[in-house]
Amino acid sequence: METQNLYPHRCSKCNAQMFSPVVCQSCQTLFDIERDVDYFTMFGFERKFDIDSEELEKRFIELSRLVHPDFHSNDVDNVMMLSMQITSELNQAYETLSDPIKRAEYLLALSGGPDAEKDKSTPEELLPYILHLRESFEFAQAQDDKAKTDEIRQSIKVLKEQTEQRIFQLARELNSPSNDNSLRSELRKQLNAIRYINNLARFVNV
């Protein structure tokens, strides 16, 4: 697998270049990664929002093969345990990075931004608008007004797309010198907003 060797270490066993800190591709030695190793580093990527999704998938498949317990079935018990631990961490990391919303959420956490459990703020007027759309949709359904329900679905689709694009824009700016508390607070609001919007989208089957 051809990669950019963004992870600047060499294997302590065979001295080969490692693109990921979890396993050496050359000698297949597993490493117990430190707690401060983030998901981007696990896959050899820079810590930024825009990543190559195809390359991420290729690296995930390759790393998963190298660390899988079946690959280390003849190793001692502690290596097998480490194999299962790394496999679990890789799965979680891939699930997070392969989803752009989860990736933005993760980057916000890495940057010290507010947590969703502590900051439930949303953009002004969003929640009343969502309630209005839901009630309007329910009324149109009751009236069997297909034109109106289709119109509301389109409004929700546009709102969802606009919110996602705003999230992606803000997540990209986390790496810029202008990254400050106001930017992180705004990203938190938009991430909170997309949860409400997605719930509404599911309700109206968008």
Burial of 182 (0-12, 13-18, 19+ CB in 10 A): exposed
103 is a domain residue:
no
143 is a domain residue:
yes
What does the alpha-carbon distance between residue 145 and residue 134 come to, in Å, rounded to a whole number?
14
* The pLDDT value given to residue 106: 97
Give me the phi and psi of 99, to 5 degrees please: -105, 115
2 is a domain residue:
no
Per the structure, how many domains does the chain have?
Answer: 2
109 is a domain residue:
no
Q: Is the pTM of this model over 0.85?
A: yes
**Residue in 123, 120, 116, 135 with CA at minimum distance from that of residue 203:** 135
**Average per-residue pLDDT for the chain:** 90
Range of the domain at 66: 9-98
Whether 133 and 197 map to the same domain: the answer is: yes
What average pLDDT does range 31-51 have in this prediction? 88
Cα angle, residue 18 at apex, residues 13 and 22 outer, rounded to 5°: 80
